[in-house]
Amino acid sequence: MIRGEVTGKAAQAKQAARLLGSLSTAVKNQALLVMAEELIDRADEIVAANKIDMTKGREKGLSAALLDRLLLTENRINEMAAGLKEIAMLPDPVGEVISMWNRPNGMQVGKMRVPVGVIGIIYEARPNVTVDAVGLCLKTGNAVILRGGSEAINSNKAITGIISKAAVRAGIPEGAIGLIETTDREAVDILLKLNEYIDILIPRGGSGLIQTVVKNATVPVIETGVGNCHVYVDNQADLQMAKNIVINSKTQRPGVCNAMETLLVHQDVAENLLPDLLETLKQEYGVEIRGCSAVKELVNWVNEANEEDFYTEYLDLIMAVKIVPGIEAAMDHIYKYGTRHTEAIVTTNYNKARRFVQEVDAAAVNVNASTRFTDGFQYGFGAEIGISTQKLHARGPMGLTELTTYKFIVYGDGHIRK
């Protein structure tokens, strides 16, 4: 029965993708706008469904950070709708001729952007991903199969039901938006191997989910990232700026992958920065601090960090802190413990900033800016379908162009090969 549901929706998506890929930009944009208005008009239904998920989440003992990711409010629904409207305003990459050149025989050869086809999204307790994924996929002419986490099942059903009906009314083929409604894990196992129907899988969630997909899928996977993100405060940093960036990077939304997990501080400014900063983080924001021995000597109330702490993506109000002798040690630490997601430096020294940007291997490297800016909406993409930490096909926040591939086009005039 589960296999029938999953393969049936995948087959519908493949059929819809054939029609969707040739739709005009105007039809796709109108569908996005209609979907956005429906989200706003029916926000009460979505909030009601989300309350069921939130109640069950509390009963299951989900952490505060996970509950925050799960929560939908009227304001967050408005933001989701705003994302769809922004996607509608962006240029349509489908059909764009990336390059064209002439061969000596007079033949023209070019590369043109085209939809991928059917994209499967496997994600956890973030119902906003449902809207982001659908919006980006439809704009790029891709059908989408959604498999959200059990924690958000009621929210996802409500959202998908609303936007899929709105999309069909606006001219999007039936089946272009598919939600796998069973929460049985067997559904994921089936999706991972549906090469006949699905072109790409994108997992979004914790490291366990991502690695399960990467290791078991036969369908090609774009690996989205675990975010063990760092902020390095240099000895030539503006310390008030550094304090603001660190607090924002850790506390603005701790349960997301671009939140800072480890703070690295140059030894020359540690005494001036850390006592006040760590006290503020603890007292005003409830952050648990786990520091190296040098941090503990300076601020004796912090918990001692062990090796595992520096590898950990907490997704919670917990952070590791280490004092380092300089930028080289900071970059060495990031190389060893980082996950190639987002790394930041706070410094007024141009040469150090330039070196950090050039030498740190990550999908995003920030100078004097919070790690929280690694985000498709913040980059001007309207939304994102995930943040890729791999290096093939796509890297960083994935917007519209990352959801296309290309084909070669050839224009001849009776050319034959001799």
Same domain, 152 and 186: yes
Q: pTM for the whole thing?
A: 0.83
Same domain, 32 and 97: yes
Write out the residue range of the structural domain in which residue 122 sits.
Answer: 2-222+398-411
Same domain, 282 and 362: yes
Please report whether residue 379 resides in a domain: no
Please report whether residue 392 resides in a domain: no
Tokens for 328?
Answer: 């080289």
Same domain, 297 and 360: yes
Please report whether residue 126 resides in a domain: yes
Same domain, 242 and 217: no
Q: What is the CATH number of the domain that holds 157?
A: 3.40.605.10
Strand arrangement of the beta sheet that strand 404-411 belongs to: 97-102, 108-115, 404-411
The pLDDT score that the predictor gives to residue 326 is 97
Same domain, 141 and 11: yes
Please report whether residue 418 resides in a domain: no
Same domain, 152 and 66: yes
**pLDDT per residue rounded down to tens, the chain (418 residues):** 899 999 999 999 999 999 999 999 999 999 999 999 999 999 999 999 999 999 999 999 988 878 888 999 999 999 999 989 999 999 999 999 999 999 999 999 999 999 999 999 999 878 989 999 999 999 999 999 999 999 999 999 999 999 999 999 999 999 999 999 998 999 999 999 999 999 999 998 777 888 899 999 999 999 887 899 999 999 999 999 999 999 999 999 898 889 999 999 999 999 999 999 999 999 999 999 999 999 999 999 999 999 999 999 998 999 999 999 999 999 999 999 999 999 999 999 999 999 999 999 999 999 999 999 998 878 887 677 888 888 888 888 888 999 999 999 999 999 999 8
Same domain, 139 and 203: yes
Separation CA 344–CA 241 (nearest Å): 13
Same domain, 274 and 405: no
Q: Following DSSP, what letter does each residue of 292-356 receive, concatenated? A: -HHHHHHSTTSEEP-HHHHH----SSEEEEEEESSHHHHHHHHHHH--SSEEEEE-S-HHHHHHH
Separation CA 323–CA 158 (nearest Å): 48
Please report whether residue 378 resides in a domain: no
Please report whether residue 382 resides in a domain: no
What Cα–Cα distance (Å) separates residue 370 from each residue in 205, 250, 259? 21, 9, 9
**Are 147 and 171 contacting, i.e. CB atoms less than 8 angstroms apart?**
no
The pLDDT score that the predictor gives to residue 412 is 95
Please report whether residue 48 resides in a domain: yes
The pLDDT score that the predictor gives to residue 382 is 66
Task: Please give the tally of structural domains in the chain.
Answer: 2
Please report whether residue 359 resides in a domain: yes
Q: Is the dihedral of CA 294, 241, 395, 141 positive or negative?
A: positive
The pLDDT score that the predictor gives to residue 107 is 96
How many residues in the chain?
418
Same domain, 234 and 217: no
Q: What is the dihedral of CA 20, 24, 26, 30, to 10 degrees?
A: -10
Same domain, 10 and 122: yes
Q: What is the CATH number of the domain that holds 361?
A: 3.40.309.10
Same domain, 173 and 319: no
3-state secondary structure 74-97: HHHHHHHHHHHHHHHHCCCCCCCE
